Structure 1
Amino acid sequence: MILMTVVVLATAISGARAQETEKARPSVEAIREYQQLAREVQELFRQKKYEEVLEKCRRMSELIPDEAIPYYKRACAQALLGKTEEALKSLATSVEKGFDEPAHMKKDEDLAGLRSDKRFDELVEKARENEKKPAGRYEPGIEVPGVKTVEDFPEGGLRYRLRMSPTATKEKPNRLIVWLHPAGGSMNNIIEVLTPRFLNKNFALLVFTQKNFRYWRGADAKRLMEGTLPAVAKIEGIDAGKPILMGYSAGGQQALQLWENDPDKFAGLILDAAYPVRRTGPRSFAPIKLPEAEALKRVPLFVLVGENDGGARFWERLEPVWRKAGVPLTVHYVPDMGHTWLFGKFQLAALDAWLSDVAAGKIPRPPAAEPDDNDPNAKPQPPEFR
């Protein structure tokens, strides 16, 4: 069985301007139901209730017909039930719809009963062909004056666009901020506007230009870490050794997961509407386990969460625990805001100060008081497409 490792604790969905695929975009309601069903399917696999898995997967396919994952999970359940022919048919449909993780197929124990069939090997090869193709539609970038733009699609990596200083050199390189998109859209047109601000602190910006923006998968994270970042590190004028991960909603959850796995690989995290927990059931959550590494005390976190966001309670409970453990944590609770894009004038100024400290090798200062007046310029303005 394949795990969709992106935790969609967040339900923020980018809208009509998100250019994710050639296909018509499913509704917000369909995506939310799909995500809930995906969580239920994971639990049913743990309980070995494979017939129920099949029913849930059928509904997932009705909600988002072009998605490959439900058919893959159906194949796993059918194989475990001994329904070989049906499993191979479902697996073939998954590959036809773009499933692109051949290495996972070969080692997935749920599919062990299919490996002796030559059709299984043929499907693995087709999945390998899919792996070489970019997912979704390419997203061209906006014009950013005075910035050098580099685009590439490295082997084994994610297709990307890099915004860097034209004066950066090997001796005086830009450090790197990596943008991790939310579930439903890239938001590149929003984040790339901030490029001059980042460059003012000597940070280049990396965004991804062609992938399935509905979610982050384990395979996406692997391609980022093992394909894209090594390729970007070869660009003269870029120091990609320890990037800052910046994520909104599901992108923030992916950033936290990467940090949890190995904090020493990163210089910091910038999180908007993401939470220090992982989902353990349809309505249950557990705190993220702090890494057992001294590095966590050297990797600062900048967090924005709306006071009206249900996830704020997680930060309120865990902020003192993380601080006591030595995590350099800066949490801003934004007044009168829920689960949304939270970078307004005040929050951007706070981020500037945080980035200045990180660039200087300092532990960032604690947050100042949040604005509570009615000045619209002091409060975040959601993206136009929300």
Structure 2
Amino acid sequence: MAEHTAPHPGTVPEPGPGAPAASPLAGMRVVDLSKILAGPYVTMSLADLGAEVIKVEHPEGGDPTRQWGPPFDGPDATYYLAANRNKRSVTLDLKSPAGQEAVHRLLAGADVLVENFRPGSSLARTFDYRQLSARYPRLVLLHISAFGETGPLRDEPGYDMVAQASAGLMSLTGEPGGPPLKAGYAMGDLGAALFGLVGVTSALVERERTGRGQYLTTSLYESQLALHINWATGYFATGEPPARLGSGHPSLVPYQAYPAADGHFVIAVGSDGLFRRLCAVLALPGLADDPRFATNRARVAHRAELNAELERVLAVEDVAHWCATLKAAGVPAAAIRSLDEVYDCPQTAALGMVQEAARPDMGPLRQVAFPVNFRGERPAVRTAPPALGEHSREVLAELGYGEAEIDRLTGG
């Protein structure tokens, strides 16, 4: 297997294609061997921040999420399109010696490798960090798994639904007495992705001091535990597993959705002073002085009684009335918007959170942009998610392959 030399540590490569020079991670190269959502979301975020990301997919079908539809927008499912912009796609058979050689050529010039190989699989052994670090000491490798590196479940496969169930989220989601529900978002995958992103960027900062990369791991399971926050500390303090509360809050009342005459809206009272304002607006001053409700501790203990009193009054006016009236009084309240309302909202437009990427032979693709501004500017959606193998010939040529070798690798 031919050896390829990585850039000298003092050399700063040119930014990836289309990346502004001011992008925080301009000049970084990321090799993405992951699939589904957690890993691809990490690498898309790195790409949004200016890194050059090369997504390596199997020639037969590529990332499974390309077929996770409907809906589709063009040949690929919108699920795939949601997590793969600003990348280039190369198709390689990672189980073949030729495919592995090509990946090593990529790694020779790479800063980060992201993968979610199942522990103990042939690919996990082939791209073992101990071997990789000997050849590429500056490489940062992020491995994302379902249940972590140790323990009785370490070898179990997992999807977001499995993580939400096994790590407790579904036990906390749903109405009291009703069935457990999964969260509307893929919180298992996305939680792992966000912690993985923090890990990668932290490791790159540390590498500036030490000159060496490192092996990072996170999992859907661990990330869900980290997101329990107050639910976990409450359980540790009492020994009592919390019950489902619907939209309610375990430690604040009133802090949930309430029915108005024409739909639901939320009220968020985080202090006794706000509660007194709420009572004044609702013409219920007696509630503020009632010992059952005068303090938040008492309101949590008498949640059902208080909600019955509030619902009786709130049901007589519509959502718009209550939201306007409560906001005018300084009481936090909001209508519950559907996605069409969210993306038609002036606040969404003002923030520039929706951008478009051009696609050849198809209309522009709308994308939700990266939610952090740098120097007052939001990272750009530069390129649409790539078609399967769209950049294979281009990238392989950059790696020094000749036309005949590229034909053999790509089957073309």
TM-score (norm 2): 0.27
Q: Give the greater-gyration-radius structure (CA).
A: 2
